[in-house]
């Protein structure tokens, strides 16, 4: 069992590593329970409790299930573990959800009630920008304002187009897998289109956008297909990118793309890719 200070240290360490986890907190207890209000546990993505304690097997299964679901969709859960008789008296069944609360059976001899709040703690969502066009620069500037970490991928000579970035990658050597949501925008304007687009389509991402015309996108897809890029990767592309705002200027186009990224992040769209004018 860890102290509150130890749990906070673990939370800080996990955040620093960019590793997703869930924080379970006992918010209410009724009658005898192993853990009391305020008890916390840190649950990793693989379901292992790294620190803290929220009681024994009576609550563990229900909380771990809620943690797994919470990490999958980014939404918190409130779990109420109650004796079967108490649930029956309220007309409830184990596994049922009502008013935002999921109910579970407490089969332990204590026969107490424990309410546990499960909160996902996910890495900061990331926008990866390939290229240094005016649209790319605008996305970098606006993206940070709305809560995204910004990674800039561009040749060394083009990096100075960006005043600031959370991370810089020279060229387009994108990491294949990274923790947290990743949204990629290729805005190379004819300078390395194929290399950047091929790199973007080859990695795990929640969204991939290519800034260019539909005709240009089709030509690039044909070229990449001839080079052996699998159809499943090419099918990620969606035309056009961004919400239809009638955008014209680089800032307006950036806003339309960021709006679509936000929609994808909040679950309004499935994992997609796009091409815009």
Tell me what percent of the chain is helix, strand and coil, each rounded to the nearest 5. Answer: 35, 25, 40
Structure tokens at 238: 């969606």
Task: Note the pLDDT of residue 127.
Answer: 96
CB-CB contact of 100 with 107 (8 Å):
no
Q: What is the DSSP letter of 202?
A: T
Q: State the Cα–Cα distance between residues 104 and 84, nearest whole angstrom.
A: 8
> Between residues 252 and 59, which one has the greater pLDDT?
252
Q: Dump pLDDT digits (tens) for 43-93.
A: 998 999 988 888 777 788 899 999 999 998 889 999 999 989 889 999 999
Q: Dump pLDDT digits (tens) for 201-221.
A: 999 999 999 998 889 999 999
Structure tokens at 85: 């008789």
18: number of Cβ within 10 Å = 14
Q: Dump pLDDT digits (tens) for 155-206.
A: 999 999 999 999 999 999 999 888 788 999 999 988 899 999 999 999 999 9
Q: State the Cα–Cα distance between residues 263 and 59, nearest whole angstrom.
A: 35
Structure tokens at 104: 């579970």
Residue 264 DSSP SS3: helix
Q: Dump pLDDT digits (tens) for 176-190.
A: 888 788 999 999 988
List the chain domain ranges: 4-121, 126-276
Task: Note the pLDDT of residue 157.
Answer: 92
> Between residues 22 and 15, which one has the greater pLDDT?
22
Is residue 42's pLDDT more than 90?
Answer: yes
Residue 225 DSSP SS3: helix
pTM score above 0.85: no
Q: State the Cα–Cα distance between residues 151 and 174, nearest whole angstrom.
A: 10
The CATH topology of domain 126-276 is Rossmann fold (3.40.50)
Q: Across residues 226-238, what is the average pLDDT?
A: 89
Q: State the Cα–Cα distance between residues 131 and 190, nearest whole angstrom.
A: 9
């Amino acid at each position: 069992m860890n102290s509150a200070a130890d749990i906070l240290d673990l939370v800080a360490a996990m955040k620093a590593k960019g590793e997703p986890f869930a924080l379970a907190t006992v918010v209410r207890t009724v009658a005898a329970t192993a853990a009391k209000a305020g008890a916390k546990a840190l649950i990793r993505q693989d379901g292992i409790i790294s620190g803290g304690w929220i009681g024994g097997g009576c609550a563990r299964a229900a909380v771990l299930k809620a943690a797994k679901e919470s990490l999958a969709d980014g939404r918190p859960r409130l779990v109420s573990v109650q004796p079967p008789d108490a649930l029956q008296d309220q007309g409830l069944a184990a596994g049922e959800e009502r008013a935002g609360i999921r109910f579970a059976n407490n089969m332990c001899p204590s026969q107490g009630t424990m309410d546990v709040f499960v909160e996902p703690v996910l890495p900061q969502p990331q926008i990866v920008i390939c290229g240094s066009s005016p649209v790319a620069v605008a996305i970098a500037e606006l993206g940070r304002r709305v809560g995204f970490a910004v990674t800039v991928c561009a040749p060394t000579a083009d990096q100075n187009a960006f005043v600031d970035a959370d991370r810089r990658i020279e060229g387009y050597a994108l990491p294949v897998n990274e923790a947290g949501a990743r949204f990629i925008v290729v805005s190379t304007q004819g300078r390395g289109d194929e290399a950047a687009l091929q790199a973007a389509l080859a990695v795990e991402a929640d969204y991939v956008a290519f800034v260019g015309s539909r005709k240009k996108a089709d030509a690039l897809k044909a070229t990449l297909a001839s080079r052996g890029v699998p159809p499943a990767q090419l099918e990620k592309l969606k035309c056009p990118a961004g919400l239809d705002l009638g955008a014209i200027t680089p800032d307006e186009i950036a806003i339309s793309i960021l709006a679509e990224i936000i929609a994808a992040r909040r679950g309004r769209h499935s994992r997609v890719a796009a091409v815009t004018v």
